[in-house]
Amino acid sequence: MKVKKIILGLILINRLLATAQNPILIPDTIMGTNVDLTLQYGTHQFYSGINTNTMGVNGDVLGPTLILNQGDFVNFTVKNNLTDTTTIHWHGMHISGENDGGPHTFITPGTTWNPSFKIMDKASTYWYHPHLHRKTNTHVSKGISGFIIVKDDEEADLDLPRTYGVDDFPLVIQTKDFNTAKEIVVPSNTDDVAMVNATIDGTLEVPAQVVRLRLLNGSSMRVFNVGLEGNKTFYQIGSDGGLLEAPISLTRLQLAPGERAEILIDFASMNGQSLVLKSYASEFQNGIYGASFPGMNANMTLDNYNPNSLNGSDFNLMTFNVVVPTSSPVTAIPNYLVTVTPLSENSSDITRTLVMQPKQMGMNQLNGLFTINNVSFNLDVINYYIPLGNTEIWSIRNQSAIAHPFHIHDVQFYLLDRNGNTPAPSEQGRKDVILIKPQETVRFITKFDDFPSNIPYMYHCHMLIHEDGGMMGQFIVDTTLKINKKSEDGVLVYPNPTTDKFTITSIRNIKDVTVVNALGQMVAQEKELNYFAVTFDTKNWGKGIYFVELIYANDVKGKGGMKRRKDKNNKKRRKIIVQ
Ligand code: C2O
Ligand code: CU
Ligand code: CU
């Protein structure tokens, strides 16, 4: 009897603690055309009174929200004050490979990276996060990630809430694993602590009117099934890369790692009340990270996944406390938003087929690595060369027992179908991440415009353990690939013949390139490149035959850092005609 009373008392105290006012962190903003970011270590109190070691941007955890205008040319300074090399990737944005911040674009400790680019994206919610191969999970889970809000004229014309921190809030939903010392454990399949904006059991004061939330799943692994207490309706107005045609009324919204969604909630009649934002993970079928069992077959186990109170059950993410409305509130959910013009299926130049599979099939597959088309990521291998301007259908089949969120850089895509079925309305907008369930084939269409580049773009699973484990590939977009075929040894010189310039690409990193004329005289040379591709201007060379000699880089990035490649066959020679 006594024990029961104590337990009841503890439950009560717990409930009180859980409902304590714990305002969620709202990141500062940076606006304009100069963005200064510093990556740094810090500490953050996820648990009151306990300092947890974190990584953050311009602060202890997370990063400032960048508010950028379409059409602006923005200069960035990214200073790395960590003792670890990392990169910063602008997830979802249409920018060149050089600016994209993928795994090739290192920022070594103590150095600064200065990308600069024009904002070409549509108004939506994007994000930035580290992307160093094998380190992405550590750097993201320790706290580095920030929002990017892009504004444009089309969005400005709509009667939508857009006052940051007043009726427009970014919410990054994450789960993490803390050890007994309350340090963040990475990697982990025991992520049993949910948080929004780095705040556990957080609260947010919202005015009694229509409020806009920009949701981001910033978790390393977990999928959420977002909904409101009491199944209150909310309205999705945007997907990853833009607004939808019209608000979609929903009671549930599935959000996989990397995905964003903008939603409206009408709090008008709720002044003085509270409402809980939840994940209804009990509704997940097995085969999703977040369900009772992560594999389709309940007998397939993932080490350390269970027991976990979040798996397959409904849990709270945060609480909205509704307060008095602002002086000029948005009071209605609009009927119409923007025109969405998906690419038509018959405009496609090519269909590429990708298969997601476990490295080792069988019942223990969830504990192993996953591959795309049976190969693991290799920094020195370009998996696809894509002609600039190509419209492509990517058909992706999940041949594994767990759902994977597929993400591609450079472009936004339009979903064509899931196993041949028309996608749900909430998936009919612009997307850059799509969750593909076991045994599902998802087809999307996209167009590779604007950025021929030497620095490859990535496509990968956005579950960070899978990504770091090699479930990633890379592609180069180039101008003249349409008229040239890739040669057998992976070295490509094009266009050939040429009039003004040519490019050499290789499946391995190129160290030195020397071009000599028919008399053996050197006309051009590039040394210590370490690129996959290099372009030469031939305008001043005169017409004739030239020979390109290429030496591969010997040092390749391997598992344990840099290692020496032993083959002697590291030279290639090609003929190029200038006419
Ligand atoms: Cu959000 Cu390649 O990443
Ligand atoms: Cu990305
Ligand atoms: Cu995956």
The token pair at 166 is 């007043």
Q: Which tops the pLDDT comparison, 399 or 494?
A: 399
Q: How confident is the model at residue 527 (pLDDT cuts 50, 70, 90)?
A: confident
Please report the pLDDT score of residue 549 as a whole number: 87
Residue 482 in any domain: the answer is yes
Please report the pLDDT score of residue 453 as a whole number: 81
One-letter-per-residue 3-state SS of 422-446: CCCHHHCCCECEEEECCCCEEEEEE
Query: Distance between CA atoms of 279 and 224, rounded to whole angstroms?
Result: 6
Query: Distance between CA atoms of 539 and 439, rounded to whole angstroms?
Result: 53
* Low-confidence winner among 34-43, 117-126, 448-457 (lowest mean pLDDT): 448-457
Query: Measured from the CB, is residue 257 less than 6 Å from ligand 1?
Result: no
Distance between Cα 130 and ligand 1 center (Å): 8
Residue 86 in any domain: the answer is no
Mean pLDDT for 453-478 is: 95
Distance between Cα 90 and ligand 2 center (Å): 6
**Secondary structure percentages of the chain, helix, strand, coil, to 5:** 10, 45, 45
Residue 504 in any domain: the answer is yes
Query: Measured from the CB, is residue 466 less than 6 Å from ligand 1?
Result: no
Distance between Cα 92 and ligand 2 center (Å): 5
Residue 553 in any domain: the answer is yes
Give the position, in ligand 1's atom list, of the atom nearest the Cα of 409. Answer: 2
The token pair at 379 is 């920094």
Residue 83 in any domain: the answer is no
One-letter-per-residue 3-state SS of 364-399: CHHHCCEEECCECCCCCCCCEEEECCCEEEEEEEEC
Q: How confident is the model at residue 111 (pLDDT cuts 50, 70, 90)?
A: very high
Q: In what order do the strands lie in the sheet with 29-31?
A: 29-31, 65-69, 146-151, 124-129, 89-91
Query: Distance between CA atoms of 14 and 11, rounded to whole angstroms?
Result: 5
Please report the pLDDT score of residue 380 as a whole number: 87
17: pLDDT strictly greater than 70: no
Residue nearest atom 1 in ligand 1 by C-alpha distance: 91
The CATH number given to whatever domain includes residue 545 is: 2.60.40.420
* Segment 331-375, tens digit of pLDDT: 999 999 999 999 999 999 999 999 999 999 999 999 999 999 999
> Which ligand has the shortest distance to the CA of 131?
1
166 phi/psi in degrees, rounded to 5: -115, -60
213: pLDDT strictly greater than 60: yes
- Please give the DSSP secondary-structure letter assigned to residue 25: P
Query: Measured from the CB, is residue 407 less than 6 Å from ligand 1?
Result: yes
Q: How confident is the model at residue 567 (pLDDT cuts 50, 70, 90)?
A: low
> Which ligand has the shortest distance to the CA of 461?
3
Please name the helix (run of DSSP H) or strand (run of DSSP E) that holds residue 353, with its range, or none: strand 350-358
Query: Distance between CA atoms of 384 and 431, rounded to whole angstroms?
Result: 21
Query: Measured from the CB, is residue 460 less than 6 Å from ligand 1?
Result: yes
Domain of 362 in residue numbering reads as 345-578
Distance between Cα 46 and ligand 1 center (Å): 25
Distance between Cα 269 and ligand 1 center (Å): 39
Mean pLDDT of the chain: 91
The token pair at 105 is 């674009």
Q: What percent of the chain stands above pLDDT 70?
A: 91
Residue 379 in any domain: the answer is yes
Q: In what order do the strands lie in the sheet with 202-207?
A: 202-207, 314-323, 274-280, 224-228, 253-255
SS3 for 208? coil
SS3 for 48? coil
Residue nearest atom 3 in ligand 1 by C-alpha distance: 91
Query: Measured from the CB, is residue 471 less than 6 Å from ligand 1?
Result: no
Distance between Cα 174 and ligand 3 center (Å): 17
Query: Measured from the CB, is residue 258 less than 6 Å from ligand 1?
Result: yes
Please report the pLDDT score of residue 250 as a whole number: 98
Query: Distance between CA atoms of 19 and 13, rounded to whole angstroms?
Result: 10
Give the position, in ligand 1's atom list, of the atom nearest the Cα of 467. Answer: 2
SS3 for 500? coil
Q: Are 257 and 220 in contact (CB under 8 A)?
A: yes
Query: Measured from the CB, is residue 139 less than 6 Å from ligand 1?
Result: no
Q: Which residue has the tokens 């590039």?
A: 526
Task: Please give the angle made by the CA atoms of 551, 497 and 485, to the nearest 5 degrees.
Answer: 70
Mean pLDDT for 134-152 is: 98
Distance between Cα 48 and ligand 1 center (Å): 32
153 phi/psi in degrees, rounded to 5: -65, -40
Strand pairing report for 314-323 and 202-207: parallel
Query: Distance between CA atoms of 483 and 498, rounded to whole angstroms?
Result: 12
Distance between Cα 185 and ligand 1 center (Å): 21
One-letter-per-residue 3-state SS of 196-207: ECCECCEEEEEE
Residue 204 in any domain: the answer is no
485: pLDDT strictly greater than 50: no
Residue 570 in any domain: the answer is yes
* Segment 18-64, tens digit of pLDDT: 455 799 999 999 999 999 999 999 999 999 999 999 999 999 999 99
Q: How many other CB atoms are found less than 10 A from the CB of residue 554?
A: 15
Domain count, the chain: 1
Q: What percent of the chain stands above pLDDT 90?
A: 79
Give the position, in ligand 1's atom list, of the atom nearest the Cα of 129. Answer: 1
Q: Are 101 and 85 in contact (CB under 8 A)?
A: no
509 phi/psi in degrees, rounded to 5: -60, 135
pTM: 0.82
Mean pLDDT for 261-267 is: 98
Query: Measured from the CB, is residue 458 less than 6 Å from ligand 1?
Result: yes
Mean pLDDT for 476-490 is: 58
Ranges of H-type helices in 110-238 = 136-141, 153-156
Please report the pLDDT score of residue 100 as a whole number: 98
> Which ligand has the shortest distance to the CA of 460?
1
Please report the pLDDT score of residue 570 as a whole number: 74
Distance between Cα 257 and ligand 1 center (Å): 10
